[in-house]
Amino acid sequence: MVRWGWFRQAAGRLRRGWVVVAEGTLAATVSWLLASWLLGHSRPFFAPAAALIVLGQARGHRTRRALEVLFGVAAGVFVADVLVRALGPGRSWTVFVVILITIVLAVAFGAGSVTVEQAAVSALYVVVVSPPTESLVPFRFVDALIGGAVALVASQLVGARHPLVPLAAEFRRTFGDLARLLGEVADALDAHDEAAALATLDRARGMDAAVGRLRAGVRAAGEALTLRVRRHRSISRLRSVDASIGQIDSVVRNVRVLARAGVNLTRLPTPAPNGLGAAIRSMADAVHAAGEALAADLDGREDAADGHAARAETAALEAVRGAGRLFTPGGTLPLAMIVGHLRTTAIDLLRGIGADDDATLGRVDEALGVPAV
């Protein structure tokens, strides 16, 4: 029974990770074939090695990593070739000196960890496996160039046709999770359930990772767009969404603080005022609509994006208006915090979908009942 369970889990992991398997296998094999058959290199070790190293990096970092691999190979091979000719191949003393000097030079020039690692590995390969000849230096560098280029192409084949689709899905997922959290806060307040509020707060604390995934998705989409000939409009949409991530980060933090205030409110002997849960659910609707607006913008559906943005603004202002009616002189501090963070959430949310800063602030404060200055 346990064995079958393990096989089912393994099959599930393979279904989710088939892209990694396909990318690595094809990129390494194609790199080897290009270097050996097309260019006639007898042992093109660095072609598949460079391909696998580049693919091992997170999407969005692979172009930079490919360049680091190339610089690392070039530096390592150059240092090793010079020193091996002077000290002789295959000796322990030679290995020590070559690795030491290679790493010292790489660090001194400010190389990243991947460049340092690749320079050391390349140097070690020259010393131990394949001592230098007059023609080996360019071959190894060209092999690394082939491997890095093949890896970049292979890593983008899945999303090259629609490079913004995965990012749009990530926006929908993130905003959907935020909306559900707000709904759970509202449910906990309506039920005066401290345990449920604590569980929601715990989940809210994990939302910071979602912002990181959005940033990584933007980098990956930008990398995928390098393969598109007609990419001007896509890049424009990507930049627009990228500019909103700072506001989205603020929305995530506001929701977390709001969830903490919800916990404190459930600990009071008196229940939350009637209507507070409805106000928070209106903000959940606003968050969901804002996510759909950003995703539709990435999809190039401008009319749909405008419609979702309008619904987000309507729901956000309704949330602020409903919460503002509940806060009266003598209200509790947790209630004041919830009202205040509903206000800041509305402001950050509407700015995140492109609303004018000054106009947004005025509309939100008007809905809250704050006199205009």
Tell me the range of 82-86, 92-96, 186-190 where mean pLDDT is highest: 186-190
Tokens representing residue 224 in the block? 């995928």
| Residue 139: inside a domain | yes
Q: What is the dihedral of CA 298, 303, 304, 306, to 10 degrees?
A: 90
Whether residues 122 and 252 fall in one domain: no
Whether residues 150 and 229 fall in one domain: no
Q: pLDDT digits over 27-81, tens only?
A: 888 888 888 887 777 778 778 887 887 776 656 566 666 677 667 776 777 777 7
- pLDDT value, residue 6: 64
Range 11-19 average pLDDT: 67
Whether residues 150 and 224 fall in one domain: no
Question: Is pLDDT at 285 greater than 90 in this prediction?
Answer: yes
Q: pLDDT digits over 110-147, tens only?
A: 777 777 877 888 787 777 766 555 554 457 777 877 88
Whether residues 128 and 195 fall in one domain: no
Whole-structure pTM value: 0.65
- pLDDT value, residue 1: 45
What is the span of the domain harbouring residue 195? 165-368
Whether residues 97 and 193 fall in one domain: no
- pLDDT value, residue 229: 47
Whether residues 199 and 290 fall in one domain: yes
Q: pLDDT digits over 163-196, tens only?
A: 677 777 888 888 888 899 999 999 998 898 889 9
- Average pLDDT over the chain, rounded to whole? 77
Domain boundary among 127, 156, 185: 156
Whether residues 176 and 296 fall in one domain: yes
Question: Is pLDDT at 330 greater than 90 in this prediction?
Answer: no
Total of domains in the chain: 2
| Residue 373: inside a domain | no
278 or 170: whose pLDDT is higher? Answer: 278
